[in-house]
Amino acid sequence: MTLLLDSPLDMHLHLREQEMLRLVAPFSAAQFAGGVIMPNLVQPVDSLPRLRDYRAAIIAACGPEPFTPYMTLFFRDYSRAELLAARDEVIGLKLYPAGITTQSEAGVADFDRIGTTVALLEELDIPLLVHGETAGFVMDREREFLAVYQWLAETFPRLRIVMEHITTAEAVAVLERYDNIAATVTLHHLMITLDDVAGGLLQPDLFCKPIAKTPRDREALRQAVFRGHPRLLFGSDSAPHPRDKKECCGCAAGVFSAPVALPMLAQLFEEADCLERLSAFVSGNARQFYRITPPQKPVGLQRAAWRVPELYGSVRAFLAGQELRWSLAGSGEAKV
C-alpha cells in the first residue's frame, strides 16, 4: 500500500546551526515541503539580517531537496517600521517566556509590556507563535499559561495565535473556544506520557519541554487530532542534541523526531482508522490558518517495514531501534 501526501509541512521545527544544522536538515527536507523554523539560536534570530543569513544556511544544508524554510523572528519590542520590513519574509513572531526552554533567556519577562508589539502584529496581520508555559510547577505550567492565551485572543481578536506543542486536555478546550487560535501537536506527545519519561529508569531522549503529561491528556490530544480538528497542525518540535548534552547532569530538553515523523504519523493514523485525515493534519490545516501556498512537493509513503537506526551522527532519534511499518517511498532505510 502506498500513500501520497500533497506538500506536507512541519509547522514547528528546530534545525540548530553549523554542523548540527547540516546533519539534521536533510531529514526534514526529505519528508516535507517546508517547515516553520524556530529562532531560539545561541544568538536569537531577532533581526532581518540574522533571519536572511539563517534562511540561506538552511537552504544550503537541505541540499538538492526542495524545502521552504518559513522563518520566524524572536519576539522583542519591534517598531512598526521593523515589522513592516519583515512582514513578507516571516511567517510570524515566536514568543518565549524568559528562560522557559532552550536558549530562551532573552524571552519575555514581563507580559504587561508586550501589548504594543502584539497590537502591531494584529494590525499588520503577522501571526504570533507562543511557547505557552509559566515558571510554575512543571506539570502545571501549560495550564497556568492558558490565561495569557485567553487575554491575547480576547484583547486582539483579529490576531492569529498559535499555541505551540500543546500537551493538555485544558489546552484543547481553549482551542475550542477561540476561532483565532490554532495549535501545533507533536508526534511524541501523541505517543508518550510522563511515565515513559520517568516511570522507570530515566529516559533522557524523551525529556522535552513541555514535558509529557498524563494518559488523560494524551487521549484528549489524540481524540482532537484523529477526529480532524481544523485548527490542529502538525509541528514536530524536533529538537536534536548530541549525546553529551543528553547523557549528562542537566540533560537538555528536546526529542529528535525528524527521521521518523511522517512514517510514524501514518502508522498512528492507520491504527486509529483515520488515515484519510492525515493530509489535513500535516498540510491542509496549516495552509488555511497561515494562508500559505507551499511549493508543490508530493511525498510518498509505503507500507514497508524498517528499523530506526540507533544513532544519526551524534544524535539519537525518537523510536531508535524500533521497527516502523511505514517508510518513505524510495527510502534507502534498511528493511527488516
Within 13 A of 7's CA, how many CA atoms are on the CB side?
A: 14
DSSP code of 108? B
* Average confidence score pLDDT of the chain: 96
Domain boundaries, the chain: 8-260
| Tens of pLDDT, residues 258-284 | 999 999 999 999 999 999 999 999 999
Closest CA to 188 of 161, 160, 207: 207
Provide the residue count of the chain. Answer: 336
The residues facing 335 across adjacent strands are 306
Catalytic residue selected from 77, 237, 244, 273: 237
Q: What is the pLDDT along the chain (336 residues), one digit of tens a residue?
A: 899 999 999 999 999 999 999 999 999 999 999 999 999 999 999 999 999 999 999 999 999 999 999 999 999 999 999 999 999 999 999 999 999 998 899 999 999 999 999 999 999 999 999 999 999 999 999 999 999 999 999 999 999 999 999 999 999 999 999 999 999 999 999 999 999 999 999 999 999 999 999 999 999 999 999 999 999 999 999 999 999 999 999 999 999 999 999 999 999 999 999 999 999 999 999 999 999 999 999 999 999 999 999 999 999 999 999 999 999 997 544 333
Q: Does domain 8-260 have CATH number 3.20.20.140?
A: yes
178-211 per-position pLDDT tens digit: 999 999 999 999 999 999 999 999 999 999 999 9
| C-beta separation of 306 from 6 below 8 A | no
C-beta separation of 13 from 46 below 8 A:
no
Q: Are 109 and 116 in contact (CB under 8 A)?
A: no
pLDDT at 331: 57
Indicate the DSSP class of residue 203: -
Q: What are the two backbone dihedrals, phi and then psi, of residue 147, each rounded to the nearest 5 degrees?
A: -65, -30
237 carries an active-site annotation: yes
For residue 45, the one-letter residue type is V
